[in-house]
Amino acid sequence: MTSRALAVTGATGRLGGRVARRLAAAGVPQRLVVRDAARAPDLPGASVAVAEYGDAAAARAALDGVGTLFMVSASESPHRAAEHRSFVDAAVAAGVERIVYVSFYGAAPDATFTHARLHHETEEHLRSTGLATVMLRDNLYLDFMTALVGDDGVIRGPAGDGRVSAVAQDDIADAAVAILQDPAGHDGRVYDLTGPEELTLTEVAGILGAHLGRQVRYVEESVEEAYASRAHYGAPDWEVDAWVSTYTAIAAGEMAGVSPDVPELTGHPGTTLAELLARG
């Protein structure tokens, strides 16, 4: 490990919290950069600094003396890309040497999934800084597959017969911690973090139904139907675009493919959907 501090963002959330707890269990000192100090986990060897991504002055102060920064992406919002740029620039100004960034699978300027385009933009900004970088391109979270099921036991969306290689958050955290304990050896790398299987939503529905003990099925929608069926939520256009493009990206084949990176980084196989459900 570098003698400079290791900072972890997102420690009050699902992924950053997993990473922070694993680092603490391994005896790795860390600085938790959070928006609300009262919500920061109380972990051995961890200090707390308060900063929001869009507050450049606070971020620069919070990152002073940091060598490696684990950067979980900001909460989804219309200002997310600008907040990322501001935080990255603050890291540069603070003298951070390396950023391990949680990106998205297939990040590209022409990606179907809207957030994959945003992550590409952040990746490009990171590279432009001259800092050492490590990109963790996570597929969809396996942990959220149950949330796709409506109250009527139906998964609806324009995904066709496309496949998704969703990844468990525990596996992402294990991979991240393996990198953060020896980060220099990973500089410049882009890792695709997927599960060990690529499933159609029909197959996902079958696995979920077997676990829940009731019928779950996938019903194909057209893109127009997908927008119409989500209109009652009253969500802003950018958010509905993200919801629908999750499915169209699956249909386009952009969520498919099984990468060896999780087992190679962690030393254990990735988690299947059935295994994750069985853990409760």
What is the residue-averaged pLDDT of the chain? 96
Whole-model pTM over 0.85: yes
| Cβ–Cβ < 8 Å for 138, 103 | yes
Q: What is the mean pLDDT of residues 226-248?
A: 94
Choose the weakest-confidence range: 1-5, 61-65, 174-178, 255-259. Answer: 1-5
Distance spanning both ends of the chain, measured CA to CA: 35
- What does the pLDDT read at residue 251? 98
- Pick from 146, 278, 280: which is nearest to 205 by CA? 146
Helix (H) or strand (E) holding 46: strand 46-50
Determine the Cα–Cα distance for residues 19 and 177; give it in Å rounded to an integer.
6
Burial class of 178 by CB neighbour count within 10 A (0 to 12, 13 to 18, 19+)? middle
Helix (H) or strand (E) holding 273: helix 273-279
Domain 5-138+169-193+258-271: CATH superfamily, name plus number: NAD(P)-binding Rossmann-like Domain (3.40.50.720)
Determine the Cα–Cα distance for residues 184 and 98; give it in Å rounded to an integer.
8
Percent of the chain with pLDDT over 90: 96
For the chain, the domains span 5-138+169-193+258-271
Kindly tell me if the per-residue pLDDT of 3 is higher than 80: no
- Kindly give the pairing relationship between strand 154-157 and strand 132-138: unpaired
Q: Which tokens hold the place of 22?
A: 């694993």
